[in-house]
Amino acid sequence: MSEQAETLANLSYEERRFEPPADLAADANLKADAYEEAAADRLAYWEKQADRLDWDTRWERVLDWDDPPFAKWFVGGKLNAAYNCVDRHVEAGAGDKVAFHWVGEPEDDTRDLTYAQLKDEVCKAANALTELGVRTGDRVAIYMPMIPETVVTMLACARLGAPHTVVFGGFSAEALASRIEDCDARVVVTSDGGYRRGAPSALKPAVDEACAIAEKTGHTVTKVLVVRRTGQDIDWTDERDVWWHDVVDPASTEHQCEFFDSEHPLYVMYTSGTTGKPKGILHTTGGYLVGAAYTHWGVFDLKPETDVFWCTADIGWVTGHSYVVYGPLANQATSVMYEGTPDSPHKGRWWEIVEKYGVTIFYTAPTAIRTFMKWGDDIPAKFDMSKLRVLGSVGEPINPEAYVWYRKAIGGDRTPVVDTWWQTETGMILISPLPGVTAGKPGSAMTPIPGVVADVVNDEGQSVPDGSGGYLVLKEPWPAMLRTLWGDDQRFKDTYWSRFPGMYFAGDGAKKDEDGDIWLLGRVDDVMNVSGHRLSTTEIESALVSHPKVAEAAVVGATDPMTGQAPCAFVILRESAGDGGEDIVAELRNHVAKEIGAIAKPRQIMVVAELPKTRSGKIMRRLLRDVAEKREIGDVTTLADSTVMDLIGQGMAASS
Ligand code: 6R9
């Protein structure tokens, strides 16, 4: 090998390893033998994990996989998720323990909620929701900021066996309406607004608008329950809208909970797929709660007596469901929950909170880590974060430099970093280092956790050798797996189970390194990952095409130093729109924000005369990605008209 080639080979090989600290390893919840135990008898291992919960009726069978891909876990078992998250801890004498140190964005607006208080609030909300007509099986939509009432509402729904669907507060009225309609929710819980970046930001107007949109298709929302958070002025529909303080506050704290079948639906969470229509991922009660509790305990090495856990995710995403709400509460953890943005009122706000509450385990996303890196080491250095002992990352691949910075600047060079791979569909972490076992490699999610069977396969579905890349698959069912897509079993089969027969196809590319450790390489479908949030190219294209001036649109996810990927759009205007006018780009960006949400706003919009298409009419996104990432344009031989790229290239030069 030439000297230069050798240098290159070494550069692309990550040699840094971070061994677990000795004290953590000695006392770890999960040790190396867990891998062997789970491999020897996987179902017995999961059965043991199910004993973390309180069951009213014990299951008869651990897994029913007789009709794949439709799984049933802990068959015949009965339990209540809210009882497991709250009541049983109070009954065990932990009522005075803090469940949440809640921190509002305005300084000094804080509230500690004990398990006993949480139990009272959940019971009151369950009684109030019943008054409003919610029955077992009914879907309830939740569109809320990060306030305690959001958790209370989710648990109240779980207590009643009414599946919730939480819609991220950053989503638009249109997006909210489509979710309300898809899962046929008749009751919506919201607030007047929440605090973001130092100012009240409204939520209720979007609910009003969503109800009006739904009404047009014949779908009536009968009740909207509204928490007063900011006190801002809002419109009010007398027969439909109800204040939380009028119905929940005076309700009884007594509520007898019912126990539901292990497979009773717990929630539906919408996520972007490869078509314009979001998919309603269905999670059920027993398996999901077992998976969330087990991974929260094992991957973060949670010691409920002494740890203070903080997952910064918004409850509107699956990470918030599993690691702000269900996992930590099932494990009787004490958690921090923060309402606002990391830079309000100053860029050290998160670290100030870590210091104040003595946070020991911290879980966030690479996009946030990269932002802090940009802001500089001196900001976290001002705070005492010496109690931190485990750091976690989720949502997208973490670049090795960000990993190393995170470990050093936040973790004082002591803390293991667990890079956790999972999805809305998987419900729980599946691939991750274990903090007391694994010598972490920056950038690698390492290996499947005990109980999980994952692999990287080639186009034919064969396992690739170490040192090669392919597609990430799961080869055995796991308890928190999605059960189906709400109302669409066929799409469930097509999306996840048809690419490789008998295996779950995650949609992610991955490689195994020479040691067999897994590196995630990003999506292999038309889904992009923007700041850890999934957006589909088709969804943004549909939003653009719904604008009266747009004839055609193509969207690609271009690499972005801060957000991982950023949407870049190429649009063809309608003849009638002329050149679209001076503000066409701003107009279209705002239109996308209105249709989907601000997070989907294209970073860049280029008005073009043609789009590169194959002879069969498929848009060649690969070429557009080359343009968006300012690369040399790749192979154009399959283009129907090869001059198209020259035109786009010229337009690009003119616009930059
Ligand atoms: C939990 C969550 C899932 C997609 C997934 C993958 C990406 C998540 C990752 C990661 C590399 C990690 N992803 N964690 N990629 N390393 N540690 O994020 O769920 O919003 O459904 O996104 O995110 O591409 O397929 P969700």
Nearest Cα neighbor of 190 from 169, 211, 173, 215 is 169
Q: Which of 508, 519, 524 to mutate to test the pocket of ligand 1 (most atoms within 8 A of CB)?
A: 508
Among 288, 299, 396, the mutation site with the greatest number of ligand 1 atoms within 8 A of its Cβ is: 396
CA distance 33 to 505: 28
CA 133 to CA 605: how far, in whole Å? 46
Q: Is the CB of 520 under 6 A from ligand 1?
A: yes
User: What is the atom index within ligand 1 of the atom nearest the CA of 319?
Assistant: 1
> Which residues line the annotated binding site?
196-199, 319, 395-397, 419-424, 508, 523, 531, 534, 545, 547, 550
Query: How far is ligand 1, taken at its centre, from the CA of residue 531, in Å?
Result: 10
Instruction: Give the atom of ligand 1 at the shortest distance from the alpha carbon of 445.
Output: 17
> Residues annotated in the binding site for ATP, as ranges?
395-397, 419-424, 508, 523, 534
- At residue 639, what is the residue type? L
State which fold the 22-510 domain adopts: Rossmann fold (3.40.50)
As beta bridge partners, residue 619 has 613
Ligand 1 in contact with 535 (CB < 6 A)? Answer: no
Report pTM.
Answer: 0.90
Residue 101 identity (one-letter amino acid): H
Q: What is the pLDDT of residue 613?
A: 77
Residue 44 CB partners (closer than 8 Å, separation 6+): 62
Per DSSP bridges, beta strands 164-166 and 140-143 are: parallel
Give residue for tokens 């126990």. Answer: 259
Task: Give the chain's count of helices (H) and strands (E).
Answer: 23, 30
* Residue 314 Cβ contacting ligand 1 at under 6 Å: no
pLDDT tens column, 462-501:
999 999 999 999 999 999 999 999 999 999 999 999 999 9
* Rounded to 5°, angle at Cα 169 from 168 and 174: 85
User: Minimal CA–CA distance to 288: which of 79, 89, 140, 493?
Assistant: 79
Q: Delimit the domains of the chain by residue range.
A: 22-510, 531-655
Q: What is the pLDDT of residues 162-211, one digit of tens each?
A: 999 999 999 999 999 999 999 999 999 999 999 999 999 999 999 999 99
Q: Are strands 361-364 and 308-311 parallel, antiparallel or unpaired?
A: parallel
**Measured in angstroms, how far is the CA atom of residue 445 from the centroid of ligand 1?**
11
Atom from ligand 1 closest to the CA of residue 432 = 17
ipTM, 2 dp: 1.00
Burial group, residue 262, by CB count within 10 angstroms (0-12, 13-18, 19+) = buried
Q: Which segments are annotated as binding site for Mg(2+)?
A: 545, 547, 550
As a whole number of angstroms, the distance between CA 509 and CA 499 comes to 13
Chain centroid to CA 311: 12
Residue 533 per-residue DSSP state = E
Q: How far is the C-alpha of 490 from the C-alpha of 498, rounded, in Å?
A: 10
**Centroid of ligand 1 to alpha carbon of 534 (angstroms):** 8
How far is ligand 1, taken at its centre, from the CA of residue 365, in Å? 10
**AA letter at 222:** T
Rounded distance between C-alpha atoms, residue 338 and residue 335, angstroms: 10
Q: What is the pLDDT of residue 6?
A: 47
Q: Which residues of the chain have pLDDT under 50?
A: 1-12, 655-656
| Domain covering 531-655: architecture | 2-Layer Sandwich (3.30)
Ligand 1 centroid–CA 446 distance in Å is 14
Q: State residue 615's pLDDT score.
A: 66
User: Is the CB of 214 within 6 Å of ligand 1?
Assistant: no
Cα 522 from Cα 532, distance rounded (Å): 11
Residue 330 Cα to ligand 1 midpoint, Å, equals 23
The predicted pLDDT at position 481 comes to 98
Of the residues 315, 423, 525, which should be mutated to test ligand 1's pocket, given the most ligand atoms within 8 Å of the CB? 423
Q: What is the pLDDT of residues 123-136, one digit of tens each?
A: 999 999 999 999 99
Which amino acid appears at position 257 of this protein?
C
Neighbours of 139 (CB within 10 A): 23
Question: Residue 521 region, left (φ>0) first, then alpha (ψ -120 to 50), else beta?
Answer: alpha
**CB distance 509 to 470 below 8 Å:** yes
Q: Return the structure tokens found at 261.
A: 């079948």
Task: Assess whether the C-beta atom of 394 lies below 6 angstroms from ligand 1.
Answer: yes
Q: What is the per-residue pLDDT for 616? A: 62
